[in-house]
Structure 1
Amino acid sequence: MQKYILIIVSALLVTSCKVQKNQATTPISTTKPISNNASFFSAIDKRSSFDAVKINSKIDAKTGSFIPTLDAVIYIENGQKVWMNLTAVILQAARGMATPEGIKGYYKLDKTYIDSDFGYLNKLLNVNFIDYSALQNLLLGKTFIPVSENDYTLTQNISGFNLTSKQNQKITENGKTTEYKISLDYDADFNLSHVLLSNPANNDQLEITYSNREILNNESFPKSVKIIIKTKKTDEILLENTKFDFSRMETTYSVPANYKKTEIK
């Protein structure tokens, strides 16, 4: 069950839909900070304006156990919910949903389900700061970590921009403080392309790469999303988004009465 829930929540974290041409820019310096950076921070803080999007995806996962390629339908209502249905071959395998209140999901083959706040998702991803807003931004290839001019150094390079924490960032959630070393890469159009969070206390990492962007409805979305979770072992999940539809759809979700609730150990 846990390996499929990991796929569900990871896919909930990183689904997007938009592609854009990379524009060549003249690099300034990879070491000298950019002082006039107001336009950069304004651009990366811009919110999504779409109402809803339905995404058809292919998901491949490497978790140490065999998992077939999964077909997924991922539906996002801006600011309200993320709904996902997974199919293996022709059989429904799992379904999940996230709202500002928390996350839900069930795995059909062993008749188990989850119903939790975002602590469950944070534990799976080995972080402590994911809420619904951060989740949706992650889904859309947007900055999902609070950043400020005072705490980060901005530099420009041939690929675009890099934002690096000046010192370890302390994030407190439920009375627990965790430190992260953070590096964020953006392309020349201010689109997030790579995220690396490292925990200096144990060397755990969360790495996300967004690529092959497209422009849809005047907004940029990555068609390819790769998530790597490094702890004592390494899990990799790759999403390839193949089709996008910006109309609303019905998103049914109900857990059968004979399913058993499961917890992450």
Structure 2
Amino acid sequence: MSKYTALIAVLFMSTLFSCRSTKTLTSAEANYNLSTKQVIRENSRQAAKFRTLDSKVKLSYDADGRSQSYSISLRIEKDQKIWMSSAFSVVKAMITPDGVSYYNKLDKTYFEGDFSYLSELLGIPLDFTKAQNLILGELLYPVKTQGFTSEVLDNNYVVQPKNQNELFELFFLIDPAMFKVNSQQMAQASLRRLLQIDYQKYQEVQKQIIPETIRILAVEGNQEAIIELDFKNTSLNESLRFPFKIPSGYQKIEL
């Protein structure tokens, strides 16, 4: 298994929500008079609020010269667990604050571990909260107003640290209409590494603003992986089960 195939496998395990009736949101012109504090505060107010989520997700990826698509069932218990299952439950995955697990019925293998491997692949320290924020369109890193600055560029509020780290640069693009994240970009120029998460479409669901289409680009050197997620036929705040048990006799793999 190559590192980017593994990256896809783990990203496959970490994905959003909506409800029965939805509407796509429109755009607006950015207000040049808003301060950084106001932009960050409005973004914080739009954080998704729910207990549970149930959704069907179309996941497409292009990596290592191969393109594939999957239909996935997704369930989330907010701040507790992210559960995913492929068609016929061939692959099941569970992410909790304690770590990452998945098993594959086709080759009878499983993985259990912490977030260290995924953090190494993405080039950023990753934990459950960041994984959940990634798929909900929330900022991966906490933004403190005194340490950040903003400007309007191409009708987006571009929020970034006042003093970028020489080894690790952050950029957040905030939509002027919804104040949700349009893009999160993390770059390590010295390692030729980039992670870019674009929220290409949002929708309003039960008065919550949530992503509808996400595109993830992970680059290291001359290798890249592209993951696209489309969320449909979903529900919110229902009573859900999260069945997950690694079958006996499966072989543990090391990533």
Per the normalisation by structure 2, the TM-score is 0.87
Runs of 4+ in 1 over 6 A off after TM superposition: none
Matched letter for residue 169 of structure 2? K
Unpaired stretches in structure 1, ≥5 consecutive residues = 29-33, 171-178
What does 1:143-222 correspond to in 2, within 5 Å?
A: 143-157=139-153, 159-169=155-165, 179-188=167-176, 189-222=178-211
Distance 2:242 2:184 in 1: 30
Q: Which amino acid aligns with 2:138?
A: K
Could you tell me which residue of structure 1 aligns to residue 99 of structure 2?
102
Structure 1 residue 263 corresponds to structure 2 residue 254: yes
Cα distance change of structure 1 residues 16 and 58 upon mapping to structure 2, 3 Å threshold? same
Greater alpha carbon shift after TM alignment, 103-112 vs 73-82 = 103-112
Who is 1:15 aligned against?
16
Structure 2 unmatched ranges of 5 or more: none
How far apart are 1:19 and its partner, in Å? Answer: 5.7
Structure 2 match to 1:25: 29
Q: How does 1:98-137 map to 2 (within 5 A)?
A: 98-128=95-125, 130-137=126-133
Pick aligned residue for 2:134 from 123, 131, 138: 138
* Deviation at residue 106 of structure 1 after TM alignment: 1.3
Q: 1:35 to 1:56 in 2, by over 3 A?
A: closer
The one-letter amino acid of 1:23's match is S
User: More deviation in 238-247 or 66-75?
Assistant: 66-75
1:255 CA displacement: 1.0
The alpha carbon displacement at 1:81 in A equals 0.5
CA-CA distance at 1:48 after TM superposition: 2.9
Distance 1:85 1:40 in 2: 37
The alpha-carbon distance between structure 1 residues 63 and 113, as it changes in their structure 2 partners (threshold 3 A), is same
Q: Which digits, 9 at most, give the CA deviation of each residue in 1:35-91, with x for residues without a partner?
A: 73333222323443211111101111111154532000111111111000123xxx4
Query: Could you tell me how far apart the structure 2 residues matched to 1:219 and 1:169 are?
Result: 34
Q: Which residue of 2 aligns with 1:6?
A: 7
Displacement, 1:132?
1.2
SS in 2 for 1:68: strand
CA distance in structure 1 between the partners assigned to 2:85 and 2:218 by the alignment:
22
Q: Distance in 2 between matches of 1:255 and 1:138?
A: 26
Q: Is the partner of 1:225 in helix, strand or coil?
A: strand
- Name whichever structure is richer in helix by fraction: 2
Q: Please state how far the C-alpha of 1:5 moved relative to its aligned partner.
A: 4.9
CA–CA distance in 2 between the matches of 1:16 and 1:98?
A: 16
- 1:93–1:71: structure 2 CA closer, same or farther, 3 Å change rule? same
Q: Which amino acid aligns with 2:226?
A: E
Picking from 217, 242, 247, the partner of 1:251 is: 242
- State the 1:23 CA deviation: 3.4
- The alpha-carbon deviation at position 217 of structure 1 amounts to 1.7
CA RMSD after TM alignment:
2.3
Query: How many residue pairs end up in the alignment?
Result: 247
Q: Who is 1:39 aligned against?
A: 38
How far did 1:24 drift?
2.0
Q: Which amino acid aligns with 2:131?
A: L
Matched residues in 2 for 1:156 and 1:115: separation? 43
- Check whether the contact 1:24–1:158 (CA below 8 A) recurs between aligned residues: no
1:232-251 mapped onto 2 (5 Å cutoff):
232=221, 233-246=223-236, 247-251=238-242
Amino acid at match of 2:7: L
CA apart distance, 1:12 = 4.3
C-alpha separation in 2, matches of 1:5 and 1:84: 16
Is residue 30–residue 156 contact of structure 2 (8 Å, CA) maintained in 1? no
TM-score of the aligned structures, taking structure 1 as reference length:
0.84
